[in-house]
Amino acid sequence: MSVVARDVTVELGDRRVVEGVDLRVDAGGWLSIIGPNGAGKSTLLRALLGLVPHGGSIAIDGHDAHDMSRRQRAQRLAYLPQSPAIPEGMRVLDYVLLGVNPRLARGAWPGGAEAAEARAALAQFGLADLARRWVSSLSGGERQLALVARALVQRASTLILDEPTTALDLGHQVEVLEAVDDLRRRNGVTVIATMHDLGLAGEHADHMVLMAGGRVVAGGSPAEVLDPGLISRHYGASVDVIVHDGRHLVVPLRRTETP
């Protein structure tokens, strides 16, 4: 499913947080959005999801998002927030089953077929043995994978990820991103992700945009956007970019004092 934004602007109170943003991600593509804190990345994602009012236009698979209800957007867009609400007293299987709700008739409850689908999704991400565990007892990596499983049973065509690797150790970061990329390659899912780790942001993306001050200031392939000059200018830090096996690794440089 393609997502196209034209001149998207978001005002929160008396402050313009996102201004005139254009972006496009084609069906099955991976768009990574990077930028310093306060650049407007998370707010832009919330605009795509219909969670904040916005100016401009957003088209989801060619349909004007303004004409869609929140439920209709949820049938097309699955959201993995940066800090998901962790329900008390809910088991992992029931948590994953929440993803089924947007595609059920109003007032309907998940049945045996949906439960089997949720168990299969958990198994796909190595969480089958955790189905009866409390969600609150999961580690950070397990919780993120449970979120991906929930998105899988939602059957949405687009995954929107807001800092999906925050607070995860390196092993779990790789595990979560590879699980998402595997889902994209097998099911043709479109991915839009904001990320702080610039190297990881470019690892799976086929297109990147750099935001600063609420605007898109650069866009292109990871090789084009992960440019030392661009990164240094907008992050306020000197960096070097090392290319290793086709991967672009962003390395901060120590500031040296002038004698």
- Give me the pLDDT at residue 238, please: 86
Residue 176 lies in a domain: no
Q: How confident is the model at residue 122 (pLDDT cuts 50, 70, 90)?
A: very high
Q: How confident is the model at residue 60 (pLDDT cuts 50, 70, 90)?
A: very high
The residue that leads in pLDDT, 82 or 35, is: 35
Residue-wise pLDDT for 165-208, tens only, equals 877 788 878 888 888 898 898 888 999 999 988 988 988 899 99
DSSP-assigned beta bridge partners for residue 80: 161
C-alpha–C-alpha distance, residues 158 and 184, integer Å:
9
* CATH number, domain containing residue 29: 3.40.50.300
pTM: 0.87
- Give me the pLDDT at residue 256, please: 59
User: What residue type is assigned to position 126 of the chain?
Assistant: G
User: What residue type is assigned to position 154 of the chain?
Assistant: Q
Domain match, 113 and 161 both: no
Q: How confident is the model at residue 30 (pLDDT cuts 50, 70, 90)?
A: very high
Give the mean model confidence (pLDDT) for residues 61-84.
Answer: 86
Inter-helix orientation angle 140-154/170-187, to 10°: 10
Q: What is the 3-state secondary structure (H, E, C) of 149-191?
A: HHHHHHCCCEEEEECCCCCCCHHHHHHHHHHHHHHHHHHCCEE
- Give me the pLDDT at residue 118, please: 92
- Tell me which residue has tokens 């096996």: 245
Domain count, the chain: 2
Indicate the helix (H) or strand (E) that contains 16. strand 15-25
Domain match, 105 and 233 both: no
Residue 45 lies in a domain: yes
Q: Would you give the distance in Å from CA 82 to the centre of its chain?
A: 9
Q: How confident is the model at residue 19 (pLDDT cuts 50, 70, 90)?
A: very high
- Tell me which residue has tokens 């990164």: 231
Domain match, 17 and 137 both: no
Whether the pLDDT of residue 130 is over 80: the answer is: yes
Alpha helices in 27-169 (DSSP H): 41-48, 70-74, 92-97, 112-124, 140-154
Whether the pLDDT of residue 15 is over 70: the answer is: yes
Domain match, 49 and 125 both: no
Domain match, 162 and 53 both: yes
Least confident of 34-43, 62-71, 223-232: 62-71
Q: For 117-138, b where at least 16 C-beta lie within 10 A, e where not — what string?
A: bbbebbebbebeebbebebeeb
Alpha helices in 90-139 (DSSP H): 92-97, 112-124
- Give me the pLDDT at residue 257, please: 47
- Give me the pLDDT at residue 74, please: 82
Residue-wise pLDDT for 237-259, tens only, equals 888 888 877 778 788 887 654 44
- Give me the pLDDT at residue 59, please: 94
Asked if residue 161 lies in contact with residue 191, where contact means CB atoms within 8 angstroms, the answer is: yes
Domain match, 15 and 36 both: yes
Residue 182 lies in a domain: no
Residue 178 lies in a domain: no
Phi-psi region of 84 (alpha: psi -120 to 50; beta: other; left: phi over 0): beta
Domain match, 137 and 250 both: no
- Give me the pLDDT at residue 246, please: 74
CB contact set of 255 (below 8 Å; sequence gap of 6+): 238
Q: Which domain holds residue 235?
A: 1-76+156-171+187-259
- Give me the pLDDT at residue 41, please: 96
Domain match, 163 and 256 both: yes
Strands 247-252 and 15-25: unpaired
Phi and psi at residue 78, in whole multiples of 5°? -105, 135
Domain match, 45 and 163 both: yes
Residue-wise pLDDT for 132-171, tens only, equals 999 999 888 888 888 888 888 888 889 999 998 877 788 8
